[in-house]
């Protein structure tokens, strides 16, 4: 016997009579349709953001997004639907074990292939209780059943999770034009009409600018899956179009206590490059754990300066993404910006946190260009940690070709010829702005002449993401109470 997740809000959020439901949906979609019909030259939506309230309140706003699917109704075969949990709390992203989701318009089969694909991700698990009465997913299905032909569904209830965890799941199920992603969210809740308009305008602007930090807890109940989509879309360079932003005071309610609704479509974009994926991942790590890395680097230097020994690293006490292999450079500067030491790893060969501690120690005490850092110097030093991407071999015909490919303020560069090898971090562009001088100085660092060239000359470029102690509220705290074992 099939395992069916039965309709929970038919008869309350939308009609339970299929004929009345079809009539209402037709009315909403026709009202949202331009007089001249659907524009066939519009880019095909890859994702939509739409509300999940009762149809009498949010149906017209949702229809403005769903009508955009008409030109691609025969192409879309999979729908990935994410919405917040309102009934049964859940940690992470919850799958359903059901075979079908049911509405008065029939059953929608769940996509077992996508379910298997993400079921082993640590933030994903099956939890039927949170699906059973959740309306944020169900209310979208009649629209989909009306517009699309045969399709499968991957429904995910999103609870206590991070935007990054959502984005990682979306990356796994992104697919091609056959896969549509839907984020279910309402906007402001229970403000008066003018206050709701003001807050929803700020939310609209944040969404249009992919400004995740400006979407607060009171601005969208589905903010976590919304932010996850926006992170992924920004990484892919997608376009976003606002279709409609209104509230219940505009549709069927009073003006004294309203709920905001909005609809958007996302289209275009590209498959992220390896560099994009690296930048996205490391930015997220540094945003969350950059202070930890700075404190570990400072602790390593302080331990070496005071006790002439190394700190002990208990990897199990650090987050998983700091335990993963990573390559970094640690740069030490005096407070006036003068370099005091810089050493790092070209390739990932140990955990990022261990690499950070080791390279901090080497930069302070083993950089042959400088004397050892003393304990008295510590309060007057700043730290910068640069995490390196994998290096990418460059293909070029001559020096001019090599220079034409360099991207100032973006690329770090490694050069090698015979036994001579050297590296410049992207931060060097701040001091050497011209490409030819950048390369000439790097040659000198490697022990070559500034005008050196040969047919055996090799080059690799890379990018970095970094964190600087000056970004801390109180940079001196690193030296005052660095965690030493």
User: Exposed (0-12), middle (13-18) or buried (19+): which is 473, by Cβ within 10 Å?
Assistant: exposed
Residue found by looking up tokens 């959502």 in the block: 166
Strands 152-158 and 78-84, by their bridges, are parallel
DSSP helix/strand/coil, 437: helix
Closest by Cα among 436, 451, 444 to 420: 444
Q: Which of 473, 480, 469 is nearest to 333 (CA)?
A: 469
In CATH, the architecture of 275-480 is: 2-Layer Sandwich (3.30)
Residue ranges of the chain that CATH labels 3.30.700.20: 275-480
The residue ranges of DSSP E strands in 36-192, in sequence order, are 45-50, 78-84, 93-95, 100-103, 106-109, 124-126, 152-158, 179-184, 189-191
> How many Cβ atoms from other residues are within 10 Å of residue 403's Cβ?
14
Each of the 485 residues of the chain gets a pLDDT tens digit; together they read 899 999 999 999 999 999 999 999 999 999 998 644 555 567 889 999 999 999 999 999 999 999 999 999 999 999 999 999 999 999 999 999 999 999 999 999 999 999 999 998 999 999 999 999 999 999 999 999 999 999 999 999 999 999 999 999 999 999 999 999 999 999 999 999 999 999 999 999 999 999 998 999 999 999 999 999 999 999 899 999 999 999 999 999 899 999 999 999 999 987 767 777 777 778 878 888 999 999 999 999 999 999 999 999 999 999 888 999 999 999 999 988 899 999 999 889 999 999 999 999 999 999 999 999 999 999 999 999 999 998 889 999 999 999 999 999 999 999 999 999 999 999 999 999 999 999 999 999 999 999 999 999 999 999 999 999 988 888 888 887 554 43
Eight-class DSSP state of 160: B
> Which has the closest alpha carbon to 120: 92, 85, 88?
92
Q: Which residue is listed with tokens 């992104």?
A: 174
CB 389 within 8 A of CB 464: yes
Provide the terminal-to-terminal Cα distance of the chain, rounded to the nearest Å.
60
Minimal CA–CA distance to 379: which of 330, 334, 340? 334
Residue 485 is predicted with a pLDDT of 37
How far is Cα 466 from Cα 388, in angstroms, rounded to an integer? Answer: 9
Question: What is the strand order of the sheet 420-424 is part of?
Answer: 392-393, 458-462, 412-417, 420-424
Contact between 76 and 108 (Cβ < 8 Å): no
Residue 369 to residue 338: CA distance in whole angstroms: 13
Picking from 174, 90, 203, the residue whose alpha carbon sits closest to that of residue 136 is 90
Query: How many residues are given for the chain?
Result: 485
What would the CATH number be for the domain defined by 4-271? 3.40.830.10
What distances in angstroms separate CA 439 from CA 300, 399, 425, one per listed residue?
A: 33, 9, 12
337: its two tokens = 């910006």
Q: What is the DSSP string of 273-324?
A: PHHHHHHHHHHHHHHHHHHHHHHHHHHHHHHHHHHSSPPP--GGGS-HHHHS
**pTM of the complete model:** 0.65
| Amino acid 89: pLDDT | 94
CA separation for the pair 475, 452 (Å, rounded): 42
Give the helix/strand (H/E) hosting 461. Answer: strand 458-462
Specify the pLDDT at position 39: 54
Which of 198, 189, 194 has the alpha carbon at shortest distance from 255?
Answer: 194
Question: Residue 30 phi/psi, 5° resolution?
Answer: -65, -40
Q: What is the pLDDT of residue 59?
A: 98
């Amino acid at each position: 016997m099939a395992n069916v997740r039965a309709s929970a809000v038919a008869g309350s959020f939308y009609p339970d009579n299929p004929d009345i439901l079809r009539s209402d949906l037709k009315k909403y979609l026709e009202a949202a349709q331009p007089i001249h019909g659907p524009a066939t030259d519009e880019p095909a939506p890859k994702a939509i953001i739409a509300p999940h309230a009762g149809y009498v309140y949010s149906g017209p706003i949702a229809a403005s997004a769903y009508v955009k699917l008409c030109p691609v109704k025969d192409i879309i075969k999979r729908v990935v639907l994410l919405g917040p949990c309102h009934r049964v709390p859940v940690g992470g992203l919850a799958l359903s074990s059901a075979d079908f989701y049911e509405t008065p318009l029939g059953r929608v089969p769940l996509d077992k292939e996508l379910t298997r694909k993400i079921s082993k991700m640590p933030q994903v698990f099956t939890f039927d209780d949170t699906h059973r009465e959740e309306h944020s997913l169900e209310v979208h299905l009649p629209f989909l059943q009306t517009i699309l032909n045969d399709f499968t569904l991957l429904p995910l209830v999103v609870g206590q999770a991070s935007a990054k965890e959502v984005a990682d799941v979306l990356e796994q199920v992104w697919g091609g034009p056959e896969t549509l992603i839907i984020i279910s969210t309402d906007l402001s809740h229970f403000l008066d009409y003018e206050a709701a308009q003001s807050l929803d305008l700020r939310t609209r602007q944040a969404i249009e600018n992919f400004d995740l930090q400006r979407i607060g807890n009171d601005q969208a109940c589905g903010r976590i899956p919304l932010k996850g989509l926006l992170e992924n879309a920004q990484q892919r360079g997608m376009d976003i179009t606002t279709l409609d932003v209104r509230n219940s005071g505009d549709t069927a309610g009073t003006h004294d206590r309203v709920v905001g609704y909005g609809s958007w479509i996302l289209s275009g974009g590209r498959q992220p490059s390896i560099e994009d994926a690296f930048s996205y991942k490391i930015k997220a790590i540094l945003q969350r754990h950059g202070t930890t890395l700075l404190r570990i680097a400072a602790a390593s230097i302080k331990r070496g300066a005071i006790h002439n020994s190394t700190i002990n690293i208990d990897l199990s006490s650090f987050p998983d993404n700091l335990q993963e292999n990573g390559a970094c450079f640690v740069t030490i500067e005096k407070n006036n910006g003068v370099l005091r030491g810089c050493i790092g790893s070209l390739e990932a060969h140990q955990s990022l946190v261990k690499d950070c501690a080791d390279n901090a120690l080497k930069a302070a005490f083993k950089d042959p260009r400088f004397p050892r850092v003393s304990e008295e110097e510590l309060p007057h030093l700043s730290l910068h940690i640069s995490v390196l991407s994998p290096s990418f071999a460059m293909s070029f015909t001559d020096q001019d070709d090599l220079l034409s490919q360099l991207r100032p303020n973006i690329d770090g560069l490694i050069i090698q010829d015979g036994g001579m090898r050297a590296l410049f971090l992207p931060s060097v562009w701040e001091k050497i702005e011209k490409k030819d001088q950048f390369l000439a100085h790097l040659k000198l660092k490697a022990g070559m002449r500034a005008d050196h060239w040969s047919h055996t000359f090799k080059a690799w470029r890379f990018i970095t993401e970094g964190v600087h102690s000056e970004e801390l509220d109180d940079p001196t705290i690193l030296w005052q109470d660095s965690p030493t074992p």
